[in-house]
């Protein structure tokens, strides 16, 4: 099984035989996840199959509306707690953080097959896992049977090349978020529909795991089934730092891998990107967005709520104040991130600047609570989607950008180029 794309190699490894793009397979799953927005239906489907104990490890998360903002959601939480206690599922309580971040921190390993009732399950592809979102009914079946079906996806290979040292360095002010926003603009929002996107090239090889998590998180915004990075020394170090080094498996595409499409993206001269509403694939250079007034800035979510994101934002905000016309919200992606930011004094920086620190979780991103927009208001957010109504009000507008651009915007009161603050 030395040949093939990353997607083909992972599925071949778990099935014990070679598979190729276009083939339909029934494969075992290593992890199944759901949260309060999707778990109820998955649990119902699981129960209709007459099962009492899941056939694969099940992870449940209280993260999208946590703490519960109204009675109906509190009741969903109560039912999920009861199911977890009875079925032996792993419940991650209010305050633990966002499912995709916790899966990366504690659960995902190279070579696994992970399915989740959330489209951004593809985040775990950064660790070399075949991780994908599915509907709640399919997830309920996977819980019951411990396996599910796939059509082995064709793969689009994307190599990012930057500056210096063989293209390993990103230009000043440019982040992984800017790379993926630029790529989605190139591909379109359905340009990778049911494909695997395999990320590589010297600029990706030089990214830390947190940067890789960001680009894999947003693969689905181009329609991809999975986003994948090779499992290499960066992966090994990430797992070892979390006491999971024994789960490391090196995974790279084979020398004869067949790709549907191969893109080389030169980012040496790329500016920080801003995705204009109402679609993620409307990314443009920050120069074209500069000066647009903003009412709210959100730094966080499963895309950019990690410790490196908060450090970058704090670097810009330290010693400065949030513009009086802007509300700055900061939401660490997990309790681990929250505690590390607390130890490093980052939360004090945000609060001293005039920001509000939210509990770990999805918060404003899904528009349930903690930052719903008013009519006609604009938000510059580090999240992954800017569709109408995403933040709770179809009459609000959402612009997407990196934590650096978000922090600069919070200071200026209008979309701003972070390079002005990072000299």
3-state SS class at 380: strand
* End position of a domain, from candidates 246, 266, 286: 266
**142 and 83, same structural domain?**
yes
pLDDT of residue 77 exceeding 90, the answer is yes
* End position of a domain, from candidates 241, 266, 291: 266
**359 and 253, same structural domain?**
no
What is d(CA 9, CA 195) in angstroms, rounded to the nearest whole number? 15
Residue 1 lies in a domain: no
**238 and 379, same structural domain?**
no
Residue 310 lies in a domain: yes
pLDDT interval class at 219 (50, 70, 90):
very high
pLDDT of residue 20 exceeding 90, the answer is yes
Residue 163 lies in a domain: yes
First to last CA, the chain: 48
Tokens 């004869």 label which residue? 256
Write the pLDDT tens digit of every residue in 245-275: 999 999 999 998 999 999 999 999 999 999 9
Q: What is the percent of the chain with per-residue pLDDT over 90, rounded to a whole number?
A: 97
Q: Per the structure, how many domains does the chain have? A: 2
Residue 78 lies in a domain: yes
**407 and 286, same structural domain?**
yes
Q: Are 95 and 56 in contact (CB under 8 A)?
A: no
* End position of a domain, from candidates 232, 266, 300: 266
* Mean local confidence (pLDDT), 113-120: 98
Cα separation values, 119 from 11, 38, 41, 196, 265, Å: 19, 11, 16, 14, 25
pLDDT of residue 221 exceeding 90, the answer is yes
* Mean local confidence (pLDDT), 300-316: 98
pLDDT of residue 3 exceeding 80, the answer is no
Q: How many other CB atoms are there within 10 angstroms of residue 170's CB atom? A: 22
**359 and 228, same structural domain?**
no
Q: Are 387 and 279 in contact (CB under 8 A)?
A: yes
Predicted confidence at residue 2, as pLDDT, reads: 63
pLDDT of residue 363 exceeding 60, the answer is yes
Residue 205 lies in a domain: yes
E strands, 13-170, where?
24-28, 31-35, 58-61, 90-92, 113-116, 130-133, 147-151, 155-161
Task: Supply 45's token pair.
Answer: 């489907």
Residue 207 lies in a domain: yes
Residue 379 lies in a domain: yes
Task: Supply 279's token pair.
Answer: 């679609």
Q: The CATH number of the domain where 208 resides is what?
A: 3.30.499.10
């Amino acid at each position: 099984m030395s040949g093939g794309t990353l997607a083909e190699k992972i599925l071949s490894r778990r099935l014990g035989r070679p598979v190729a793009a276009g083939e339909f397979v029934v494969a075992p799953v290593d992890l199944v996840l759901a949260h309060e927005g999707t778990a109820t239906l998955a649990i119902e489907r699981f129960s209709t199959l007459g099962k009492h104990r899941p056939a694969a490890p099940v992870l449940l998360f209280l993260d999208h509306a946590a703490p519960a903002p109204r009675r109906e959601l509190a009741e969903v939480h109560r039912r999920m707690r009861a199911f977890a206690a009875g079925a032996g599922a792993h419940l991650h309580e209010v305050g633990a953080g966002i499912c995709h971040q916790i899966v990366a921190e504690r659960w995902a390993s190279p070579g696994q097959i992970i399915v989740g009732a959330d489209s951004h399950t593809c985040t775990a592809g950064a660790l070399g896992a075949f991780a994908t979102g599915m509907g709640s009914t399919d997830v309920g079946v996977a819980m019951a049977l411990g396996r599910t079906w796939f059509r082995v996806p064709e793969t689009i290979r994307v190599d990012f090349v930057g500056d210096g040292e063989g293209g390993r360095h990103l230009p000043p002010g440019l982040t992984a978020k800017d790379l993926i926003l630029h790529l989605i603009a190139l591909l379109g929002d359905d340009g990778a529909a049911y494909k695997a996107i395999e990320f590589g090239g010297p600029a990706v090889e030089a990214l830390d795991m947190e940067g890789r998590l960001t680009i894999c998180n947003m693969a689905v915004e181009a329609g991809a089934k999975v986003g994948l990075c090779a499992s290499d020394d960066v992966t090994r170090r990430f797992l070892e730092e979390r006491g999971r080094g024994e789960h490391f498996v090196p995974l790279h595409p084979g020398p004869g891998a067949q790709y549907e499409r191969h893109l080389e993206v030169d980012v040496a001269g790329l500016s920080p990107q801003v995705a204009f509403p109402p679609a993620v694939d409307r990314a443009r250079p920050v120069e074209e967005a500069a000066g647009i007034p903003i009412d709210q800035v959100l730094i966080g979510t499963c895309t950019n709520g990690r410790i490196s994101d908060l450090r970058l934002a704090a670097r810009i905000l330290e010693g400065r104040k949030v513009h009086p016309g802007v509300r700055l919200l900061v939401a660490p992606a997990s309790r681990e991130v929250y505690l590390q930011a607390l130890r490093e004094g980052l939360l004090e920086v945000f609060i001293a600047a005039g920001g509000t620190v939210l509990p770990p979780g999805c918060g404003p991103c899904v528009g349930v609570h903690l930052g719903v927009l008013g009519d006609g208001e604009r938000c510059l957010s580090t999240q992954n989607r800017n569709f109408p109504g995403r933040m709770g009000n179809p009459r609000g507008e959402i612009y997407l950008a990196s934590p650096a651009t978000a922090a600069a915007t919070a200071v200026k009161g209008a979309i701003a180029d972070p390079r002005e603050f990072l000299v």
